[in-house]
Structure 1
Amino acid sequence: MGELSTLFAPQRVAVVGASEEAGTVGHAVTSNLLADFGGETVAVNPNREQVLGLDCHDSVTAVEDVDVAVVAVPAAIAVTVLQECASAGIDNVVVITAGFSESGSEGSAREAELVEIAETHGINLVGPNSLGVLSTGVGMNATFGPRMATPGTISFMSQSGAFITAVLDWAADRDLGFRDIVSLGNKAVLDESNFIKEWGEDPETDVILGYLEDVADGREFVETARDVSRETPIVVVKSGRTEAGASAAASHTGAIAGSDKAYEAGLEQAGVLRVDSVQELFDFASILDGQPLPETDGVAIVTNAGGPGVMTTDAVGDTHLELAEFEADTLDQLAEALPDGANIYNPIDVIGDADTERFAEAIELALADPSVGMVVVLACPTATLSFEDLAAETVRLQRANETPIAASLMGGSDTEAAAGTLREVGIPTYFDPARAVRSLAALSEYATIRTTEVSEPEEFDVEYERARELLTAAADRGRTQLGVESMELLDAYGIPTPAGSVVDSPGDAERVASEIGGEVVMKIVSPDISHKSDIGGVEVGVPQTAVRDTYEDLVVRARNYNPDSSIIGVQIQEMVDLDAGTETIVGVSRDPQFGPLVMFGLGGIFVEVMEDTAFRVAPVSERAAGEMLDEIKSAPLLAGARGREPANRQALVETIGRISQLVVDFPAITELDINPVVAGPDGALAVDLRLTLDRDKL
C-alpha cells in the first residue's frame, strides 16, 4: 500500500460529531462503524457523555493514536476541528460537512483555511462535502450511506455521494464486490490522482472505477493514470460533456475543441477506458475483474438462436473487434459434431434443439481455433437445454483454455442460478448480447493499453530566445491577437513557411513581390479581422504589375468592413500550389485542467463545418502525432487516395511535435491556428497563422 494505507486500513477511527439522534450524519457514521469495523470506534462530542454505548470525548486531542478522524460538525466549527486534528497528529481526516466552496464565497474562504491547515501539517484530507470513505478490507464503513459494500477487488471513487449510495444498493443484488470506496467531495486536498496512485500500489485492487465531473490537475492525472493503467485497469464515466465557452473562442481550434475534447484526449493518453453510462461502467468492471486478456481480436459466437446470433454479429461490427475466421480443420470438426441445419461458420448456430453436450462441444471447438481470441456464449431458453448445466460446462471449458468468455443468457428467472455459477469464476452474463460484445471490446482495448509502449515527446532544436523576443515585442505593443505578421515565430521553431513578409506601403509591396518573383498572394493584416477571405481580404495569383493597386484595394476593403480596424499592412507571400497537397490544420487551445490541447485535421475554409479532427494533450510524442494523422476521416487523402501522391507523414508529424513544444514553452499562447498546413509529398508548409496571446503570462 502507499501513502494512504492508514486511511483504508485504520485501527482507530474517531467520529467528531458522533450523535445519538437517529437521522443525523453523526449517528449514521457512528452506527455504520460499530456494525462492521474491525478496529476501535471513538466518539467525540463535547455535549454528550455517551453515544451508542461509547464514552464521548470532548476533543480529538484527548484521544491517542487516531488513524482517521471523520468530521461531521457544522461548517463553521470544522476548521477548528481540523486544527485540533493537526495538534493530535492525525494523518487522515474525512470532512463530511458541507458548506464550503460549493456554497459561495464564504464557504470558499473556509475551504481555503482547511487546505492551509492540511498542507501545513501534511494531513490527507478527503472532502469536504463528502459522503465518507469505505473499505471492506477492515469492515470500515465511515460513510453516512445506508449500506455496507460486498467485499471484492474493485476500488471506486465518485464526485457524487448520492451516486455511491445508489451503486451500492444496485451492486448488492448482483454480487458485485468492492475493495475501497471514496466520496471525493470538493477535492480540496486529495483528488482522483491521489487515489489512482494509491490503488495502483494496492495488490488487493484489481480494477479502479471513477465517476468524475472534472479533473483537478489534468497533467498530473495523465501522468499518474498512465503509470497505473499499465498494471491496473481504470474505467471512468465522465459527466458534463458541455461545450460551454466554445462560442467565445477566437480560433478554429478553440471553437471546435469545447470542454469535452480535452477530457477525451487526456483520458485516452492516460490509458483510461471512458464509458458513457453507469451500465457500461460496471459491465466493463465485471469483465476486467474476472477475465483474462485476449491474445487476438477474433470473436467466436456460439448460439442456439439464429436471430440473436445475427444481432451479436452486428454488435461485433460496431466495435474494433472482428469475427474470427475458423480454420478448415475447425470447420470439419464442427460439421462432424453438429447436425444438418446447423451453421458451422461464425456465428456457430447449434440450432434450437441443442442440448448441453452439443452446445459445449461447439464452444470447445471454437476455443481451440487459433483465430479465436474471445467467445460469446449466447443461449435462449429451450426445453432441451439446461442453463445451469451449460454454465457448468462453460466454466470447465474456460478453465481448460484461459480464453475470455462473456455469456448472454436471454431469459428471466431461469437464468439466475446459471449466472451465479458463471459469476463465481468471473464470467460476466448479460441479457443483451451487445453488452457482452462491448465488454469484450473493452477487454481487448485494455490489452492494447497494457502492451503499448509509452513514448516520450522529442525535444527539437529551436530558437527559443528569438521566439520569446517576438512574443514579448507583440505584448509590449499591446497586441493580443497575432496573425501572419508573426510567421517568423514558426520559423524560429523550425516550421517551414512560404517566402514573404508584411509591408505597410504600396512601394514596399512591389519590392517584396519582386524579390519573390512571379505571381504572389496578398493578405490584409489586421488584428480586428479574423476571417480575411470573408471580407475580400485575400488575393491569390497577383501579377507583379498589379501588386501596387491590389495593396490599396485590400486596405480599402478592410476599411469598408470596419472603419475602426487597425491595419498593420499587407502580407506578400509566394504562391503555394494548394492542389499539389492536402490542406490540413494544426491548432492549439488551452484547457483549464489539461493545459494545451493540440488539434490536427482537415484544413482550409471548411474546417469548422467538417470538424474532421483529432486531439492530444501536449506535449505530443511522435507516436501520438502519427496516431492523430490516422484518426481523421480524411486520412486516405494523406495516404494518396484517388491518384494523389502521398503526403510526407514525417513532415506532418514533426510539425505537430514542434507546435506542441512551442505551446508548452510559452503558456502565454492560449490559442493558435496554422491553417492551412499544406501537406504534400515533399513536406509540410505552414501558409497562415493566427494566435491569441495572454500578455500577463509572458
Structure 2
Amino acid sequence: MSIRNLDKAFKPQSVALIGASTKDHSVGQVVARNLFHSGFKGPIMPVNPKHRSIEGVLAYNSVDELPIVPDLGVIATPPDAVAETVRALGEKGTRAVVVLTAGFGEGGSEQGQQRRQQLLDAARPYTLRIVGPNCVGVMLPELGLNASFAHIAPNKGNLAFVTQSGAMVTAMLDWATPRGIGFSHVISLGDMTDVDFGDALDYLGNDPNTRAILLYVEAISDARKFMSAARAASRTKPVIVIKGGRFAEGAKAASSHTGALAGSDAVYDAAFRRAGMLRVYDLHELFDAAETLASAPQIKGDRMTILTNGGGLGVLATDALIGGGGKMAELSDETIQKLDKVLPATWSRGNPVDIIGDAPGKRYADALQILLEEKNSDAVLVMNCPVAVADPKDAADAVVRTIGGRRRPVFTAWLGEGAAREARALFAERGIPTYGTPEEGVRGFLHLVRYRRSQEELMETPPSVPDQRPADTEAARIALKKVLDEGREWTSEPEAKQILKAYGVPIVDTRIADDIESAVQAAEELGYPVAIKVISGDITHKSDVGGVELGLESAEEVRHAAERMQHTIYELRPDARIDGFSVQQMVNRPDSHELIVGATEDSQFGPIMMFGHGGTAVEVRRDQTLALPPLNMNLARSMIESTRVHGLLEGYRGHPKADIDAIARALNMVSQLVIDCPEVAELDINPLLADAHGVVALDARIKVQQPKATGAERLSISPYPKELERTQALSDGTPEFLRPITPEDEPALRAFFRRMTPEDMRLRFFSPMKELSHAFAARLTQIDYDREMALVAVNPDDPEEIHGAVRITCDPDNIEAEYAVAVRSDLKGRGLGYLLMQEIIGYAKNRGVRRITGDVLAENRAMLQMCKDLGFQSKHAPDDPQLIRVQLPLDQAAE
C-alpha cells in the first residue's frame, strides 16, 4: 500500500497534456477542452509536435521542452509511445501520470502485457505513480481540474467517487449532475497498473474535503491491501460500494460443498462486510446512502414506527421493512392512549400509525411528537400521500417544526410532484432525510441499520475463546504431509477427523477398515449401533452412491451393509476405487441440528470460512454465510446469527437451545487450522451436530495442496503474529511474557491504564485523562497488523494482567512509524520501558521501516533520556514549544 506521490495526482499545481490535439472528437481534443475550461488555476502545458497551439495556448514539441516540471502528466498518446513518455516525465521530475490510452493487456493480449511491463519499468526508478491505463481520467472539482474525456464536469462537493469502469464515470455524472450532487474527487482507475482501490482509499480516508467515499468495484487486484485500506477508511468516514458482475458465471468449480457454495459475489459480500463498508446495488441507492449517512442522526436499533396518512403506503413500507431485515416497533399502551387523545377514532391503533387521509399539519405534529417519545422505537418514517382535502406543504412544515433543531431519527417520504417536491426541498434544506417512495424511505433507514452494525463489528470487543486448548499444529501438518506424499488429493474421513481433533474440534471415534471383515471387527470393538461409510478418493459425496449406512445393530447387519455398498457403487460408479470403510459409533442426540462448517480458497481473497445448515440437502437449502479469517468469538457468532438455522439453534417448541459458544468455538478452531496449515485447500465438516451439550463432527473431508505460501501470506486480513511471542527477563531477572495485542485485551488494557497515576496518564496522552473509553480502548486493541503493531508485556502467571504496552503506527508507505509506550506506574524503574522499546525497534527494522518518530512533552525527562539512550535525535516541535519531536533513523538504532 502506498500514498507516496499521490498528492501530485490528486492535488497537482501544474499539468502537462501529452497527446493534446485539435482533431474534433479525439480524446486529446476533448481532454484539452476540459482542462482549459474547468477553472484550473495552475499552468496547463499541451504537448504535441504537430500543433503550434492547443486551445489558444502554446504547444510544446516534447516533454523535454516543457518550461517547468509538471506535477501531473496526462497521457493520451498511442500505446507504443506511453512508456517512453512516462520515462521522459520521470526524468524531468514529474511524479504522477494519468494514462488514458488503452492497449495494455486488456483481454489477455500478449503485446499489451509487454507494454504494461514497459510502463511499470519506466515509472519505477522515479517512484512515479500511474493512474490507469485505459481510464477516463481524474476530476478534482475543488481545484477546477478536469483531466478526463468525460462529457460532463462534476459539481463541487464532498463525495469521492472511485471506479474501475470508465462507462460508470459518465453514467454517474449523467445521473448526479442534474440532481445537484457534488464531488471532491472523481477517479477512474482503469486497469489499475499501479494506483488501485487500496491506494485511493488510503488517500481519500485522510482527505479532509471528502465526507464519504463511493466505490464501483469490478475486481480487486490486491486483497490484503484493499482490506487493510478499507478497514482504516471505514473507521473515519462512510465507504459505500457497488460491485459489478454480481452474477458472473466464472466462479471456480469445486468438488466440496463449501467450494460449490462459495460463489465469488458472496465472497465480495463477506469482504465488504468485514471491512465495515456499506454495499448497495445501483447508482440511485449509492447516492441515497451517501446522503442518508451524512444527514441522518445515529440510531440505536432496527425498530421503525411508520406514520402515514394512507393505509396502502403503510403496507408498502411494512413489507419493505420486514423484507429488508428490519422490525416493526411495538407501540406501548401508554403511546396508544396518548395517540387516542389526538387522533380521529378511526386511526389504525397500531403500527403503522394511519392518521387518515384528511390529516392536517397539526395532526402530523401531534402524532409525531408522541411517537418520538416511544422507547420501543428507534426511528420514525413519516409519509404523505397527496389528497385534495389536505396540504402536503402544511404537513411538511409541521414535521419540521416538531423536530426543531434537534437531530432526531426521522425519515420522510412525500409522494407525488408539485407540493411534494417543495416539501422534499424543505426537508433537504433542514437536513432531514427525504425520499420519494415508502420503499426508498425504509431503505434509507436500513442503510443506517447496516452501517451501524458494521461499525459496531469494527469496534466490538470479542470475548476470549471459552475452554481454548492449544492446537497440535505439528500433528495436523504431519497428517496433511502424509496425504501429499502419497499423491492423494483428499484425506480420508478418519484422517480429516484426526486433523480436526488436533485443533480441538470434537469428533466421533472412527476406525478404518480395509475390508468387510475388518469393518465387522471394528464395529464389535466400538459397540453397537454403528455407522459405516465407504472410503474412496474417487467419490466426493458418499450418500449419493449408497456409500453410507446408519444404525447397524449387529455384525450381520454390518456385513450385509458393506456388501450392498460395494455392489451399489460398482453399478453406479464402476470407475471408483474402494479403499475400505470407516466405522463409527452412532451418535444418539435427538435434539441436535445438522450444520456445515467449511473452508475454501478464493482466487482473490484467499481462505474463506463458511457456516450454515448442513446435511445431505445443503445445496438445496442454501442457508450459508461466508466470512474472512481470522475469526474471533464475535465474528463467529455473527456468522451463526446471519443464517436461518440460527432461529432453530435458539430453541423452539420444547427443543432446547443449542450451545452457540461450542459452535463458535469450532468455527474459530477451523479458522486457525486454515491459517496455520496452507496445505488445506478445501475443508468440509458435514454434518457438525449441535445441541445443548455441544458439537461433534460426524463426517469431514479435507482437500490438500502443495503450499504456495505460508498460511499468513494467503490471508487477506493479516492474522495474529504468533511468532512475536516470547518471554524476556527484566534487569532484575523477573520474566515478562511479550506478545502482540489482541482485540480480546480491551478489558485488560483499560484495567492497565486505571493503575497508572494521573500524572503518568497526562504525560502519555498530553492531557488529563482518568481512564480509557470503550471506543478508544477498542481502537488501541483492534489493530491491523499490516499497518501497526502493539506489544504488551503481561504477567506470565496471569495473562490478563498487562504490565506495559508499546506500539508503532506505520504510514501507508512503510517509511515512517510513530511510537507510543507506557509502563504501569507501580512497575517503573525495572527496565520494562527499555525492553518494550527495544522489541518494537527490532520489529520495525525487520519490517523495513526507515525511521521511528514520536512527540514527547518537554517535561517528560525520563522518556527523553530513554530516547537518547536508544539513539533517538530530538528537537523542539515547530508548532508547539511544549513538545519535543524525537526521531530514530533505524540504520542508527541501538541493538
- SS in structure 2 at match of 1:695: coil
Task: Determine whether 1:105 maps to 2:115.
Answer: no
Say how many residue pairs are matched.
698
Instruction: Give me the whole-angstrom Cα distance separating, in 2, the residues matched to 1:284 and 1:183.
Output: 21
Q: 1:39 aligns with which of 27, 37, 42?
A: 42
1:439 maps to which residue?
444
Answer whether contact 1:218 1:266 (CA < 8 A) is retained: no
Task: Determine whether 1:18 maps to 2:27.
Answer: no
Q: Cα gap change, 1:514/1:372 in structure 2, threshold over 3 Å: closer, same or farther?
A: closer
Pairwise CA distance, 1:12 = 0.8
Instruction: Give me the whole-angstrom Cα distance separating, in 1, the residues matched to 2:99 and 2:117.
Output: 14
Give 2:607's aligned amino acid.
Answer: P
Higher mean C-alpha deviation, range 270-279 or range 55-64: 55-64
Q: 1:315 aligns with which of 313, 317, 320?
A: 320
2:493 maps to which residue?
484
- SS in structure 2 at match of 1:400: coil
Give 1:27's aligned amino acid.
Answer: Q
Q: Cα gap change, 1:303/1:519 in structure 2, threshold over 3 Å: closer, same or farther?
A: closer
Map Cα deviations across residues 20-59 of structure 1 (whole Å, 9 max, x no partner). Answer: 2231111212221222223221212233232112222233
**4+ residue stretches of structure 1 with deviation over 6 A?**
456-460
Task: Determine whether 1:48 maps to 2:58.
Answer: no
Task: Determine whether 1:71 maps to 2:66.
Answer: no
Q: 1:158 aligns with which of 155, 163, 166?
A: 163
Higher mean C-alpha deviation, range 327-336 or range 645-654: 327-336
Pairwise CA distance, 1:96 = 0.9
Pairwise CA distance, 1:170 = 1.8
Pairwise CA distance, 1:552 = 5.7
- SS in structure 1 at match of 2:663: helix
Map Cα deviations across residues 284-326 of structure 1 (whole Å, 9 max, x no partner). Answer: 1221122222244443433333432343333333334334455
Instruction: Give me the whole-angstrom Cα distance separating, in 1, the residues matched to 2:129 and 2:252.
Output: 39
Task: Determine whether 1:565 maps to 2:576.
Answer: yes
Mapping of residues 123-522 of structure 1, within 5 Å: 123-242=128-247, 244-245=249-250, 248-326=253-331, 331=336, 334-338=339-343, 341=346, 345-382=350-387, 385-388=390-393, 390-452=395-457, 453-454=459-460, 461-487=470-496, 488-506=498-516, 508-522=518-532
Give 1:591's aligned amino acid.
Answer: D
Answer whether contact 1:153 1:289 (CA < 8 A) is retained: no
Higher mean C-alpha deviation, range 126-135 or range 684-693: 684-693
Instruction: Give me the whole-angstrom Cα distance separating, in 1, the residues matched to 2:11 and 2:369.
Output: 44
Map Cα deviations across residues 489-534 of structure 1 (whole Å, 9 max, x no partner). Answer: 2222222222233232455445544442334322221111122223
Give 2:114's aligned amino acid.
Answer: A
Give 1:76's aligned amino acid.
Answer: D
Higher mean C-alpha deviation, range 256-265 or range 638-647: 638-647
2:879 maps to which residue?
none
- Structure 1 runs not aligned, ≥5 long: none
Answer whether contact 1:96 1:127 (CA < 8 A) is retained: yes
Q: Cα gap change, 1:376/1:683 in structure 2, threshold over 3 Å: closer, same or farther?
A: closer
- SS in structure 2 at match of 1:586: strand
1:89 maps to which residue?
93
Pairwise CA distance, 1:340 = 5.5
Q: Cα gap change, 1:426/1:58 in structure 2, threshold over 3 Å: closer, same or farther?
A: farther
Give 1:583's aligned amino acid.
Answer: E
Give 1:640's aligned amino acid.
Answer: G
Pairwise CA distance, 1:435 = 0.4
TM-score (norm 2): 0.73
Identity of matched residues, %: 36
Give 2:222's aligned amino acid.
Answer: D
Q: Cα gap change, 1:431/1:640 in structure 2, threshold over 3 Å: closer, same or farther?
A: closer
Answer whether contact 1:296 1:371 (CA < 8 A) is retained: no
TM-score (norm 1): 0.92
Pairwise CA distance, 1:133 = 0.8
Q: Cα gap change, 1:313/1:585 in structure 2, threshold over 3 Å: closer, same or farther?
A: closer
Answer whether contact 2:14 2:71 (CA < 8 A) is retained: yes
- SS in structure 2 at match of 1:641: coil
Task: Determine whether 1:537 maps to 2:540.
Answer: no
Pairwise CA distance, 1:97 = 0.8
2:30 maps to which residue?
28
- Structure 2 runs not aligned, ≥5 long: 710-895
- SS in structure 1 at match of 2:133: coil
Give 2:477's aligned amino acid.
Answer: R
Give 1:581's aligned amino acid.
Answer: S
Answer whether contact 2:640 2:646 (CA < 8 A) is retained: yes
Instruction: Give me the whole-angstrom Cα distance separating, in 2, the residues matched to 1:159 and 1:270.
Output: 19
Q: Cα gap change, 1:554/1:393 in structure 2, threshold over 3 Å: closer, same or farther?
A: closer
Mapping of residues 654-669 of structure 1, within 5 Å: 654-669=665-680
Pairwise CA distance, 1:62 = 4.0
Instruction: Give me the whole-angstrom Cα distance separating, in 1, the residues matched to 2:174 and 2:7.
Output: 26
Answer whether contact 2:273 2:454 (CA < 8 A) is retained: no
Give 1:51's aligned amino acid.
Answer: I
